[in-house]
Amino acid sequence: MTRIAIKHIFFDLDRTLWDFEQNSRNTLAELYGEYKLQELGYTDFDQFFDIYRAKNEICWALYRENRLSKESMRSKRFKMSLQEVGHTGNTLAATLGEEYVLRSPRQTLLMDGSAEVLEYLAPRYNLHIITNGFEEIQHIKMKACKIDHYFREVITSERAGSKKPQPGIFDFAFRLTKAQPVESVMIGDDHDIDVAGAQRAGMTGIHYAPGIDVPLAGNTIRHLRELMDMF
């Protein structure tokens, strides 16, 4: 990618800047121990984590398709995980769901290079977030990690009334930031949701793909620090 007249850089948050996998794992490990979930029949924490991660992906897909509400998703992903070992009660699932959304956003691990890259880019470009994450949760994450001050706008799907990769959330972002698509870049870890969605909206898309064993194609980076050579 050559240097172009870019003025606005939009980042996804989870798995792009905020280390979703490790922060989630740390939170779930706390809950697994405190609520003695192994006594329900899980072999060990790794089994519980793998089950939860799969159910969470299912629930997020339903949420993006407007087939599951935010409120329902919080407990449903735990209910589905508990059902895998024969536990069918709703009370524990609801409790775990509430505890997870209270604790997880306060985890502070960032993807490698995040703070360094933001420090480099912030004086040079207008930085923003576009995320499908929940409004109140994403702000807590950013403040806990001390990266909130780098960003001019945080566009959540709830605020925009539209979810990536739908064009509505990108159109909302353009109106809010007064950015033009041709002077805007979207950086995210999900090619279909972040990159392809942004490209359809007229933006340049950069796929952040750390550790993915596939050939590099187009604007793909393995490490966030590569952005410092691109901009």
pLDDT tens profile 33-91: 999 999 999 999 999 999 999 999 999 999 999 999 999 999 999 999 999 999 988 99
- Per DSSP (E only), the strands in 35-172 are 126-131, 153-156
Contact 212, 190 (CB under 8 A): no
Looking at the structure, tell me whether residues 158 and 69 fall in a common domain: no
pLDDT in tens, 162-183: 999 999 999 999 999 999 999 9
pLDDT of residue 215: 58
The half-sphere exposure of 166 on its side-chain side, counting CA atoms within 13 A, is: 15
Measured CA to CA in angstroms, residue 68 lies from 60, 159, 216 at distances of 8, 17, 34
| Domain CATH for 209 | 3.40.50.1000
Residue 60 lies in a domain: yes
Do 57 and 40 lie in a common domain? yes
For residue 48, the enclosing domain spans 20-106
Tokens at 10, concatenated: 């939009």
The domain that holds 89 is classified in CATH as: 1.10.150.240
* 117 and 204 belong to one structural domain: yes
Please report, for residues 28, 57, 194, 222, the alpha-carbon distance to residue 91 in angstroms, rounded to integers and kept in the order given: 17, 22, 35, 42
Alpha-carbon distance of 184 to 40, in angstroms, equals: 49
pTM: 0.92
> Based on the domain organization, do 38 and 124 belong to the same domain?
no
Task: Tell me: pLDDT of 2 over 90.
Answer: no
- Is the same domain home to 43 and 137? no
One domain, residues 224 and 159: yes
CA-wise closest residue to 206 among 216, 192, 195: 195
Same structural domain for residues 161 and 120?
yes
Report how many domains make up the chain.
2
Locus of tokens 């109106």 = 175
